[in-house]
Amino acid sequence: MSVAIIGAGVGGLTAALSLHAAGQEDILLLEAAREIRDVGVGINLPPHAVRELSELGLGDALEKVGVPTKELAYYDPKGQLIWAEPRGLDAGYRWPQYSIHRGTLQRLLVDAVRERLGPSAIRVAQRVTGISSTNNRAVIAATDLFEDRPVSYTADVAICADGIRSPSRDSLYGAVTPLASNGWVMYRGVTRAGPFLSGRSMVIIGDETQRVVVYPIADGVINWLLVRPKDATRAETELGNWNLPVPTNVIAEFVKDYRFDWLDVHHLVSSSSESYEYPMADIDPLPRWIFGRCALLGDAAHAMYPFGSNGASQAILDARVLAYELATAATTDDALRAYDAQRRPVASEVQLANRRQAGDVMARVSALARSGAHGDAKAELQDVERRYKQLAGFDVDALNTRKSWSVSDVSR
């Protein structure tokens, strides 16, 4: 079976590795970028994602570059603890939770793809412009950006993993999928700084008016992000663009009161080496992911607000399930149907849960904390987190005991 994957992001690369591990040989990745650069800032991989990458033989590589998150702690805007819980191995999972630079994760996956599938498995500068499915073949139209000429590809199956603004999704739907926004902006950056709290803590500080998330992503490197309503004085920004630089002093002003004896957020933000603004964007859950021999995967299928550390994780789960089904189902069409049936309802629920996290959950918790009812706020958060883990696939018992999506000795 030949498979073409559109997009060499976390989803597309994991799909390539998963298909290869499941016995597929003929895999080609088409990537629009002229070269694959280590872009982005921090990303967090909870144990359900780490399990899949470990089962693809990447556990040792991740251990070398990721920071194993020890705890997640919520604080009110005055720096008072509301609730903390252990994470990863400390929480009883069989797999760690890692905080990592997104570029480092992508580089690790690219290196593994090139090593296992061959140096030419990823074809860069191929911008896909259209896709269709006819006579059990996927037909892909693209532009070769090096030579500035149209090119086309065909494959038995095409996996559309070209991100939140997915041109291939729009081509399959015959219309542009609108990006939704709640009018909030995420400011993100990294700073060279020493450890805080346990040295492996991930903290969320704030209330319904703004929240800061801070965690280390490497030795001496701290990732931070601030989410708050768009400032009226800032120009309109492009939805779905992860790489809009922003002057650090603009963001530092928003956190001037966030100076605690256990972490000086203002100092962290002001001394940041790079900062970006990302207008919060997602898409509504989609009614279908499968169009003949074309399947949507990752952000193309379920772009979500970046809350709950599940954007990349759900893409990784998609990749593993799709590869498993393609290797084990009776027919390719059955496999694609089974992939859709397993993954679309779950990812759709996670999209909606992330919208709730962005809004009413924080409002309820903050109101309780403000009235001094920290115990009730804690109970509320605990309950939300428990339900979110069940939904997104990282309830500790369920994850530790569910069967693997690894396939051995399968050839089709």
Ligand X SMILES: Cc1cc2nc3c(=O)[nH]c(=O)nc-3n(C[C@H](O)[C@H](O)[C@H](O)COP(=O)(O)OP(=O)(O)OC[C@H]3O[C@@H](n4cnc5c(N)ncnc54)[C@H](O)[C@@H]3O)c2cc1C
Residue 259's DSSP bridge partners are 264
In this chain, which stretch among 45-53, 226-234, 261-269, 292-300 interacts with ligand X, using CB under 6 A?
292-300
Q: Are strands 221-229 and 126-134 parallel, antiparallel or unpaired?
A: unpaired
State in angstroms the smallest separation of the CB of 410 from ligand X: 24
Does residue 221 belong to the site contacting ligand X (CB under 6 A)? Answer: no
Does residue 8 belong to the site contacting ligand X (CB under 6 A)? Answer: yes
In this chain, which stretch among 26-34, 67-75, 150-158, 197-205 interacts with ligand X, using CB under 6 A?
26-34
Which residue in the set 4, 7, 248, 355 belongs to the binding site for ligand X (CB under 6 A)?
A: 7
- Phi–psi pair at 101, nearest 5 degrees: -70, 135
SS3 300: helix
C-alpha span between 222 and 171 (Å, rounded): 39
2 or 143: CB nearest ligand X: 143
Which residue in the set 30, 50, 155, 213 belongs to the binding site for ligand X (CB under 6 A)?
A: 30
Does residue 290 belong to the site contacting ligand X (CB under 6 A)? Answer: no
Instruction: Map residues 43-82 to x or -, x wherever contact with ligand X holds by CB under 6 A.
Output: x---------------------------------------
Does residue 22 belong to the site contacting ligand X (CB under 6 A)? Answer: no
Burial class (CB in 10 A: 0-12, 13-18, 19+), 67: buried
102 or 378: CB nearest ligand X: 102
Closest CA to 31 of 172, 155, 160: 160
Size of residue set near ligand X by CB under 6 A = 32
Residues near 239 by Cβ (< 8 Å), separated by ≥ 6?
179, 181, 279, 281
Does residue 11 belong to the site contacting ligand X (CB under 6 A)? Answer: yes
Hey, what are 378's tokens? 């804690």
In this chain, which stretch among 30-38, 175-183, 251-259, 340-348 interacts with ligand X, using CB under 6 A?
30-38
Per the CB < 8 A criterion, the answer to whether 149 and 143 are in contact is: yes
Residues near 167 by Cβ (< 8 Å), separated by ≥ 6?
127, 128, 129, 130
Which residue in the set 134, 154, 243, 382 belongs to the binding site for ligand X (CB under 6 A)?
A: 243
Closest CA to 400 of 47, 46, 45: 47
State in angstroms the smallest separation of the CB of 408 from ligand X: 26
49 or 381: CB nearest ligand X: 49
C-alpha span between 327 and 340 (Å, rounded): 15
Closest CA to 5 of 19, 340, 285: 19
Which residue in the set 190, 263, 294, 312 belongs to the binding site for ligand X (CB under 6 A)?
A: 312
Burial class (CB in 10 A: 0-12, 13-18, 19+), 349: middle
Does residue 338 belong to the site contacting ligand X (CB under 6 A)? Answer: no
Hey, what are 357's tokens? 């996290």
Closest CA to 56 of 94, 24, 17: 17
Does residue 12 belong to the site contacting ligand X (CB under 6 A)? Answer: yes
Burial class (CB in 10 A: 0-12, 13-18, 19+), 331: exposed
Does residue 226 belong to the site contacting ligand X (CB under 6 A)? Answer: no
Does residue 306 belong to the site contacting ligand X (CB under 6 A)? Answer: yes
Cα of 166 vs its chain's centroid, Å: 15
- DSSP letter at 393 equals T
Cα of 19 vs its chain's centroid, Å: 20
Per the CB < 8 A criterion, the answer to whether 213 and 308 are in contact is: no
275 or 366: CB nearest ligand X: 275
Does residue 158 belong to the site contacting ligand X (CB under 6 A)? Answer: no
Looking at residues 91 to 120 of the shown chain, list those that interact with ligand X (rule: CB under 6 A).
Answer: 102
Does residue 39 belong to the site contacting ligand X (CB under 6 A)? Answer: yes
State in angstroms the smallest separation of the CB of 402 from ligand X: 22
Which residue in the set 3, 4, 5, 6 belongs to the binding site for ligand X (CB under 6 A)?
A: 6
**Amino acid letter, 264:** D
State in angstroms the smallest separation of the CB of 368 from ligand X: 28
6 or 321: CB nearest ligand X: 6
Looking at residues 121 to 150 of the shown chain, list those that interact with ligand X (rule: CB under 6 A).
Answer: 127-128
299 or 325: CB nearest ligand X: 299
> What residues line the site for ligand X (CB under 6 A)?
6-12, 30-33, 39-41, 43, 102, 127-128, 161-163, 167, 188, 242-243, 298-300, 306, 311-312, 315
